[in-house]
Amino acid sequence: MNNLIEMFSYSFMIRALIAGVMISLSAALVGTPLVLKRNSMLGDGLSHVAFGAFALAIALNLTPIWIAIPIVIIASFFILKLNSNSKIHGDSAIAVLSASALAIGTFIVSLTGANIDINSYLFGSILSIGNNEVFLSLILLTIIITIYIIFHNKIFALTFDEKFARAIGINTKVLNAVFAILCSVLIVLGMRLVGALLISSLIIFPTLSAQTIFKSFKSVTIAGAILSIIAFTIGLIASYLLSTPTGATIVIVNLFTLLVLKLLSCLIKE
Partner 1 sequence: MNLISLNKIKLGYNNNIVINNLSLNIEEQDFICIVGPNGSGKTTLIHGILGLLPLKSGNIKFNIEKTQIGYMPQETAVDSNFPASVFEIILSGSLNNHQNFYSEKTKEHGEEILKLLGIKNLKNLSFSELSGGQRQKVLLARALMATQKLLILDEPSNNLDQKSKQDLYKVIRNLNKKQKITIIMITHDLDHGNLIGDKILSLHDKDYFFGTTEEYIRKVHHE
Binding site for partner 1 (CB under 8 A): 36, 38, 150-151, 153-154, 156-157, 159-161, 163-171, 211, 214-220
**Considering the complex, what minimum distance in angstroms separates the CB of residue 121 from partner 1?**
34
Nearer to partner 1, 31 or 190 (CB): 31
Which of 163/268 has CB closer to partner 1? 163
The distance of closest approach from Cβ of residue 55 to partner 1 in the complex, given in angstroms and rounded to an integer, is 37
113 vs 169, beta carbon nearer partner 1: 169
Least distance from C-beta 138 to partner 1, angstroms?
A: 24
CA distance 63 to 152: 35
How far apart (Å, rounded) are the C-alpha atoms in residues 239 and 125?
13
Nearest approach, Cβ of residue 173 and partner 1 (Å): 11
Q: Give the span between the Cα atoms of 139 and 119, in whole angstroms.
A: 27
* Cβ-proximal residues to 118 (8 Å cutoff; 6+ apart), any chain: 51, 54, 55, 58, 105, 109
State how far the Cα of 131 lies from the Cα of 110, in Å rounded to an integer: 31
Q: What is the CB neighbour count within 10 angstroms for residue 174?
A: 9
d(CA 57, CA 28): 28
- The answer to whether 186 and 23 are in contact (CB under 8 A) is yes
User: 170 near 158, Cβ under 8 Å?
Assistant: yes
Buried b / exposed e along 94-113 (16+ C-beta atoms within 10 A): beebbeebbebbeebbeeee
Nearer to partner 1, 203 or 250 (CB): 203
Under a CB-based contact definition with an 8 Å cutoff, are residues 12 and 129 in contact?
yes
Nearer to partner 1 by Cβ, of 170 and 234: the residue is 170
As measured in angstroms, the least distance from the Cβ of 147 to partner 1 is 11
Return the number of the residue (86 or 132) whose C-beta is nearest partner 1: 86
**Cβ 23 to partner 1, closest distance in Å?**
24
